[in-house]
């Protein structure tokens, strides 16, 4: 921990939150400060999996797509932001999944990407949430702060308000 933030080494550190988001709407938000690109194509800061290890919700910093935020699921539904998450700089992120299966991404309080899940919303509950890794790879070398998980889809205005309230 660094103050109230979580600093991860990019090699083997992550948090197993051990909870499920359910199949409905959800919002994940927080602040990320990546130190390096790491050794793989992704630096994962959030992943939910089901009991079989299948990804239901993933948010990463994708090095192969120009260091942009990447979100997706196990149904080949992915979207990237157009904005970069730069190294050694705090960036606010938010990812919203609606109960109908729409992913919407935000960088610094502004909508910056969206995609519909193929086949609609998730059909089964996840079993585990990992913060800072996929649980076995793609470790984040950096710091996460003020990570929040909501059991509903927050609106554009609520995301902007959250960014404004936590950016000082």
Per-residue pLDDT tens for 22-52?
Answer: 777 889 999 999 998 765 678 888 887 777 7
From the number of C-beta atoms within 10 Å of its C-beta (0-12, 13-18, 19+), residue 87 rates as middle
E strands, the chain, are 6-9, 15-16, 26-34, 42-49, 55-62, 68-72, 78-84, 91-97, 102-107, 110-116, 128-131, 141-150
Distances (CA, A) of 91 to 17, 77, 132, 163: 22, 24, 15, 10
- Confidence band for 81, pLDDT divided at 50, 70 and 90: confident
Indicate the pTM of the whole model. Answer: 0.87
CA dist., res. 69 & res. 72, Å (int): 10
Instruction: State how far the Cα of 32 lies from the Cα of 115, in Å rounded to an integer.
Output: 22
Q: Name the residue ranges covered by the structural domains of the chain.
A: 6-152
CA distance 103 to 18: 23
Task: Tell the residue number behind the tokens 């988001």, with chain if given.
Answer: 21
Q: What angle do CA 34, 116, 131 make, to 5 degrees?
A: 30
Higher model confidence: residue 151 or residue 55? 151
pLDDT tens string 115-139: 876 554 555 555 788 888 887 788 8
Q: What CATH architecture is 6-152?
A: Sandwich (2.60)
């Amino acid at each position: 921990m660094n103050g109230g933030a979580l600093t991860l080494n990019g090699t083997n550190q992550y948090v197993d939150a051990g909870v499920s988001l359910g199949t409905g709407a959800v919002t994940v938000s927080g602040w990320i400060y990546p130190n390096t690109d790491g050794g793989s194509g992704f630096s994962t800061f959030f992943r939910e999996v089901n009991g079989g290890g299948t990804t239901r919700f993933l948010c990463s910093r994708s090095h192969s797509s120009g260091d942009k935020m990447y979100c997706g699921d196990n149904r080949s539904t992915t979207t990237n932001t157009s904005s970069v998450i730069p190294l050694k700089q705090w960036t606010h992120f938010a990812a919203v999944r609606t109960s109908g299966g729409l992913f919407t991404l935000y960088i610094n309080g502004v909508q910056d990407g969206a995609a519909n899940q193929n086949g609609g919303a998730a059909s089964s509950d996840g079993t585990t949430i990992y913060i800072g890794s996929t649980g076995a790879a793609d470790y984040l070398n950096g710091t996460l702060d003020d990570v929040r998980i909501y059991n509903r889809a927050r609106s554009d205005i609520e995301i902007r308000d959250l960014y404004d309230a936590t950016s000082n």
